[in-house]
Structure formats: C-alpha cells, structure tokens
Structure 1
Amino acid sequence: MNTAKARVLLVALLDMALDIVVPIAVYLALQPLGVPSVLSLAAGGILIAGKAAFGKLTDTGERDTALLLTCTIVSLAVMFGLYALGVAAAIALVAGVVLQGVGMAVSIIRRRKLDGFALLVLTELALGIVLSFVTSGDPRFLVARPAFYTFVAAVYVFATVFRGKAFMFVVSRPMAVAGDPKRDVAYDKAWENSAEFRRLERIGTAAFAVVLLAESVLRVVLAFQYNADEVVASSLVSQLPVIGLLALFILGYKVILVPRLSRLVEAEMAVRA
C-alpha cells in the first residue's frame, strides 16, 4: 500500500474510532459535574455530528476546520448556556442541534451545491430535532438514537444503487485514486465505459446498505438490554455491531471486489497510455 492510500485509510480509521470513543468519553467527563445524561450524551453527539457534517474528507485530507470549530463550539456553548440559565434540557438540546443545521446551511451556501451527502446530513439533523423531543426522557434513547441516523443513511445508500453514481464509487475514490491524476481520470472512465465496473460498485453499495440496516437494528436491541441507569454499559455494548459489521464489510470488499475493480481501472489507464 502506497503512502497516499495508507494516509487515507488511517484518517478513515481515526474517524471511526472517534465516532465510538468521543460520546462515551464526553459522557464520563460530564457526569461528575451533575450534567443530565441527555445533555452529556448529546454533547458527544454534537461533536461527532460536527465532524461528519463539516469535516469534508478530500484526496488531500483537508477539512473545513474553521466552520467545524465555530459551529461546534457555538452549539455546545448555547446548549449548556441555556441549561445553566434554567431552560429545560430538551429545549437546550434542540437549540444546539438547530445551530448545527444553520452551520450546515452556511456550508451549502459556501459551496453553492446541495449534494447527496449534504442532504443526508440535513435530514439527520432534522430527525435529531424531532427525536430530541420524543426520546429525551430516557438516556437509553440517546444511546440508541444513532440507529435512526444509520437507518436513514442505509436508505440513502441503497437508493444510489439505482440512481446516480453508487455510494461506494464516490467514497472509495480517495483510496482508489491515491492522488494520481491519471488514475483519477481512469476511475471516472471505468464507471462510464464498463458495465462490469458499475455492477461491482453497485453490489458493494447494496452490501454496505445492508450492513447499515443491520447495525441500526442491533444498536437499538442492545441499547435496551440495560437499565436506564446503566448508560455507560449500554453505550459500550451498542457500539459492538458497528465495529464488527464494518470490519467484515471492509474485509469482504477489499478481498472480493477491490482486485476486480482495480483491474478495470488499470485497463482504462492502459487504453489511455
């Protein structure tokens, strides 16, 4: 594996690790301060949502750092500030989520493009506002809440099997191209010219949608295996499906599909050599 591919893979693995560790670490840090469980868990969720919405991973690993930091800090400050002023935890939580939505709108305006990923994140933020009102009474609902986002993501990913470019084709580009301009062109041409390439990318995308759907179901089931006062345990256990399922998917994708996809891209490069 060359340096560019290794760097992209390292960033992706770091992203996954942060998604798992941050919410639990924030919860454990805030609980001794007497912060309600719903806000402690929501704070970690805001950090992760900020990373997902505004931390655009590119071929060079660049991120929209200024927007990420500003929106996340302001959202957290408003949420905890309102709670400190005596506002109900549910209202304070919603205020923080709404501010993230505003930040996403700013990001869209700056890029002048509402792409599929931006639409997905906006949908998840809107869903988060609704769920904040519905589920804020039981900390287990906040532990399980990412399952609703994962379900929405599964629907979106599955839709790309039939419409537009397959999700795996889009997200695999940094790893497949590794910063090589010629390979970047060949990657696009393989999608345009090879029915087999499109079929394989769609198979991988459909498999990933199934993984997301299975993870969302298992997260809910495992989160509610514990009592409401066992939030840390339920948080840890509910993360296990995403770790196991993603590991299996990545292994299967790399072993079964990547070699065949790489050959098709290299064939396009040979044609243009």
Structure 2
Amino acid sequence: MTPSAAAPARPTGPSGRRTVLVLLADVALPIGAFYGLRAAGLSTYAALIVSTLVPLLSALLQYRRERRLDGMAAYVAAVMLLALAASLVSGSTRFMLAKDGWVTGVAGLWFLWTVRTSRPLAFVGARPLLEGRFRSDGTSWDVLWQDSARFRRIWRVSTAIWGVAMILDGAVRVLMAYTLPVDVVPGLGGLLWPVTLVLLQVVNGVYYEVAGLWRITRSSPSA
C-alpha cells in the first residue's frame, strides 16, 4: 500500500489523558511526596531520594502493564536511575536537586539532535494530538511529510524551538539547585514546568499560524 493510500492515523482520547497521567506521576507526585516526607521529619536528602523513586515506579507499572516502555518513559527512568546512583555515591543534596535540570537539558539536546532525522520529535509528539483534528482535510501526515517541503520545515523549526527552550529551562533548574534554599527548589521547579510549557505552546502556536501549518493540513500538499 502506498503512503497516499494509507488511512490517516486518527488521534484518540486516551493520548491526552495519558499525558496528564504522566505529568502527575513524573512531576506532581514526586513534589508532593517530597514535601510530605519533609513534614514527616525526614531530612532533605532522604526525602529527595524517596521522591525520586516515584517516576521509576510509574515506569515499572507501565512496563508491567504493557510489557514495554515508550521512549520518553525509558529515557526518564534511565536518567533517574543514573542520577540516583550518582547521588547515593556522592551524598550531595544539591546534586539531587539539580538532576531535573540535567534531565531537561539532555532532553533538549535530544530534540535538537532529531531536527535533521526522518521524523523530528515535535512531529512525533504532536501527531497523535493534531492529525485529523484541527481543520484537516484528512490527508495523512505521512503524505504531507513526503510531498511538502514547507510542512517538513515547520516541524524541524518547531523541534528546534522545543530543544532550545528545554536547554534554557534545564539551565535555570541547575542554577536554582545550587543557589536557592534546598527546601524551596522542588516547589519552584514544579512551578517552572507550566510556565515553560505555556510559553512553548504560545510561541509554537504563533509560529504554526505564521508558517501556514493549518493551511497545509486543510489543503492539498504543496512544496
């Protein structure tokens, strides 16, 4: 079957719900666990160690349920394990606080690395949410990718925007970890996530409109 004849992949409801669940498991729950453990009298270092296990438990449950890990879950689990091992060896509270910054920064580099690959990460992440939903004429994104140079350029630029933003976000997190009071950093780090994500959505939304993404998805592919 040729790409043009293939049925377009349609977004499904669970994708959005799954994103929310991942955010809760990997962001909100660890922060809540940290402050709950601190209120119970644990040291900052011990509370950080225990709260780090929450995303790992989430990844383990996903693997047990689906017998596989998606790319981001595997990445987060691997980096968290390395950070946890390094922190246990060094005994550094500041290093534990900075781990989210390093994770985010490396993820930003990953985005930048995929800019010139066959499918940039922004394309892969946006497709389940946008394809066939927003003013589309039903043409598969595989066809648009193959036939429209502008469509490919839009997703490469969007991926670069995500990469740069995540690197900057990671740098701010590392700076906070080594300069602010230790008990303040997890909460501020949690608040930084929605700020970064909202700014990214606004910037990308404006760029998609100016670059003509919606015009491409509702009309015939063109170079």
TM-score interval, smaller chain: 0.7 to 0.9
Q: Residue 223 in 1 paired to residue 177 in 2?
A: yes
- Classify 1:125/1:29 alpha carbon distance in 2 versus 1 (closer, same or farther; 3 Å): closer
The yes-or-no answer on 1:249 pairing with 2:200 is yes
Query: Which ranges in structure 1 are unaligned for 5 or more consecutive residues?
Result: 56-63, 69-105, 109-114
CA distance in 1, matches of 2:38, 2:106: 30
Change (3 A) 1:193 1:240: same
Moved more, 13-22 or 196-205: 13-22
| Pair 193,17 (structure 1): closer, same or farther in 2 beyond 3 Å | same
**Among 261, 267, 271, the residue aligned to 2:213:** 261
The CA deviation string for residues 228-268 of structure 1, in whole angstroms up to 9 with x for no partner, is: xx42x122223343332221111121232167223222224
1:208 maps to what in 2?
162
| Residues 1:48 and 2:55 are matched in the alignment | yes
Task: Give the secondary structure class of the aligned counterpart of 2:68.
Answer: helix
Match of residue 91 from structure 1? none
Alignment RMSD: 3.4
What percentage of residue pairs aligned between the two structures are identical? 22
Task: State the structure with bigger RCO (CA 8 A, min sep 6), 1 or 2.
Answer: 2
Q: Kindly tell me: are residues 117 and 27 of structure 1, through their superposed partners in 2, closer, same or farther at Cα, counting changes over 3 Å? A: closer
Give aligned pairs, total: 209
Equivalent residue for 1:235, pick from 160, 182, 186: 186
Unaligned ranges ≥5, structure 2: 1-10
Matched, 1:166 2:120: yes
Q: Deviations along 1:78-126, whole A, 9 cap, x unmatched?
A: xxxxxxxxxxxxxxxxxxxxxxxxxxxx636xxxxxx854763465245
Aligned to 1:189: 143
C-alpha displacement of 1:214: 0.2
Aligned-residue offset at 1:128: 2.1
Q: SS state of the match for residue 117, structure 2? A: coil
Aligned to 1:136: 91
Compared CA separation, residues 132 and 258, structure 1 to 2 (3 A): farther
Question: What amino acid is aligned across from residue 267 of structure 1 in structure 2?
Answer: S
Question: Which residue, out of 107, 111, 136, partners 2:68?
Answer: 107
Q: Tell me, yes or no, if structure 1 residue 152 matches structure 2 residue 159.
A: no
Q: Distance in 1 between matches of 2:90 and 2:33?
A: 20
